[in-house]
Amino acid sequence: MTMTEPLLKVRGVETYYGKIIALKGVDLDVHEGEIVTLIGANGAGKSTLMMTVCGSPQARNGSIVYAGEDITTKPTYEIMRTGIAQSPEGRRIFPRMSVLENLMMGGMVAENKYFEDDLKRVFELFPRLKERQHQSGGTLSGGEQQMLAIARALMSRPRLLLLDEPSLGLAPIIVRQIFEAINELNKTDGLTVFLVEQNAYHALKLAHRGYVMVNGVITMTGTGKELLSREEVKAAYLEGGRH
């Protein structure tokens, strides 16, 4: 752990859905330039944490500080204008907009002058999207939608990129491509990435650090390597499905 103030600092966050508690006091840090992954079983609260960082739903207790600013009670649209972008669970592509329009929506918070360059960049990253740019989002394949969701998030020129299960439903070769792309963005652009993954093996290999969440609380943390070698992690999250 470094001594500098983390880019994202989550402290004691509790999130409820009505009366049901989903996060029971989560502490977590993401430092500038890091790739951090969060793993955990279905229903552990991973997506809830991602969404809570974006203020939808808002944390009922605890605090979320981003770039030195408390964003716990800010409205979502304001949070998303401060350099945070999310490719959410379920991808949430606008089905009746073209690929290009989906990307324009992503670029809405960025300055217009960057649009053409950024578009070129995401098309280089995902050439598939360039071929399909005039197709409507709803008719893309699942994998293409996933690429679009990530590309759309990148169009906002984020400083912190939140990715909720980017490998879901993708062929292994595409998964590798996407993980390579994340690594590349992190290395060359210094993009900070906070990543939720079911694919724990790949995620922990990619990430600098990881967290394990069980039932709305963080139970383990360490570098990717450390976590990969822990017996509890192996037993619970790596069984069978490695590589």
Partner 1 sequence: MDYFLQQLINGVTLGSIYGLIAIGYTMVYGIIGMINFAHGDIFMVGAFIALITIVALGITAATPLLLLIAALVLVLVIAMALTAVWGWTVERIAYRPLRGSFRLAPLITAIGASIALQNFVQISQGARNKPLQPLFQGGFQLSDGAGTGFAVQLSYMQILIIVTTVVLMAGFTFLINNTSLGRAQRACEQDRKMAALLGVNVDRTISLTFVMGAALAAVAGLMFLMYYGVVDFFIGFVAGVKAFTAAVLGGIGSLPGAMLGGLLIGLIETFWSGYFSVEYKDVAAFSILAIVLIFMPEGLLGKPEVEKV
Contacts with partner 1, residue ranges (CB under 8 A): 54, 56, 75-77, 80-81, 86, 88, 90-97, 101, 104-106, 108-109, 138, 142, 145, 152, 156
Q: How many C-beta atoms lie closer than 10 Å to residue 69's C-beta? A: 10
What's the closest the beta carbon of residue 195 comes to ligand ATP, in angstroms? 13
Q: What does 105 bind: Mg ion, ligand ATP, partner 1, none (CB cut-off 5 to 8 Å by kind)?
A: partner 1
Pick between residue 48 and residue 167 the one whose CB is nearest to ligand ATP: 48
What's the closest the beta carbon of residue 188 comes to Mg ion, in angstroms? 29
| Closest CA relative to residue 152, chosen from 110, 192, 113 | 110
Instruction: Give the span between the Cα atoms of 107 and 220, in whole angstroms.
Output: 36
Question: Residue 22: what are its φ and ψ, rounded to 5°?
Answer: -110, -35
Give the DSSP H or E segment for 222. Answer: strand 217-223
230-240 in b/e form (b: 16+ CB < 10 A) is beebeebbbee
Q: Per CB under 5 A, which of residues 33..72 are in contact with Mg ion?
A: 47
Give the DSSP H or E segment for 182. Answer: helix 172-189
Q: Are 162 and 194 in contact (CB under 8 A)?
A: yes
Q: Per CB under 6 A, which of residues 44..73 are in contact with ligand ATP?
A: 44-48
Residue type, 75: P
| Closest CA relative to residue 67, chosen from 49, 75, 79 | 79
Q: How many C-beta atoms lie closer than 10 Å to residue 149's C-beta? A: 24
Pick between residue 37 and residue 99 the one whose CB is nearest to Mg ion: 37
Q: Does 89 bind Mg ion (CB under 5 A)?
A: yes
| Closest CA relative to residue 70, chosen from 122, 11, 30, 112 | 11
Pick between residue 45 and residue 137 the one whose CB is nearest to ligand ATP: 45
Pick between residue 77 and residue 124 the one whose CB is nearest to partner 1: 77
Q: For ligand ATP, what does the binding mask look like between residues 67 and 106, x meaning CB under 6 A?
A: ----------------------x-----------------
Residue type, 1: M
Pick between residue 40 and residue 83 the one whose CB is nearest to ligand ATP: 40
Q: For ligand ATP, what does the binding mask look like between residues 174 and 193, x meaning CB under 6 A?
A: --------------------
Interface residues with ligand ATP (CB under 6 A) are 17, 20, 22, 40, 42-48, 89
